Amino acid sequence: MKAIQERYDRNKMVYRHHTEKLLQLKSAPETYDGLSKLLHDLTRHTGGMKACGGDSFSQIVVSIVEPLLPTLSARLWSDFTSEASSPPPLDELVKFLKRRLQAIETVAPQRSALSLILSLVTILAFTISLKHS
């Protein structure tokens, strides 16, 4: 299982690398060498993506969005996708993000209420200390 996990993590990293390289391609001059380089880079990176287990638009979008996730969400996403054998599709990322939003939304009001209570206690303690001064 560890070998599969290491291979998958490497595949994700390689897939992301090829996606980034595709996004960084420059326009080619209208010459044999320019078009040849563009074709070479295009086939190299799309071939690398296919070798990692995917090349769909959905997976490309996921590999673009993954680095944008906040640290905790990125860790949770990595755990969530650790069993997959190929780069996850976009609908999996969307489901994950919806669940994260629900979790954050559930915790946020509790923290806000606690913060309000702590503020009131602090104000009350300050007021009492002023009266006794």
Write the DSSP assignment of 46-108 as a string of letters: HHHHHHTT---HHHHHHHHHGGGS-HHHHHHHHHHTTT-SSPPPHHHHHHHHHHHHHHHHHHH
CB distance 66 to 77 below 8 Å: yes
pLDDT tens digits for range 11-64: 778 888 888 898 888 887 777 887 788 889 988 888 888 888 765 777 787 877
Look at the block and give the residue holding tokens 């559930």. 106
Residues for the chain: how many in total? 133
pLDDT tens digits for range 89-115: 888 888 888 888 888 877 766 666 666
What does the alpha-carbon distance between residue 41 and residue 23 come to, in Å, rounded to a whole number? 11
CA distances from 86 to 100, 111, 118 (A): 22, 38, 47
Longest CA–CA span in the chain (Å) reads 88
**Number of domain units in the chain:** 1
Q: What is the pTM assigned to this prediction?
A: 0.56
Domain boundaries, position 67: 2-131
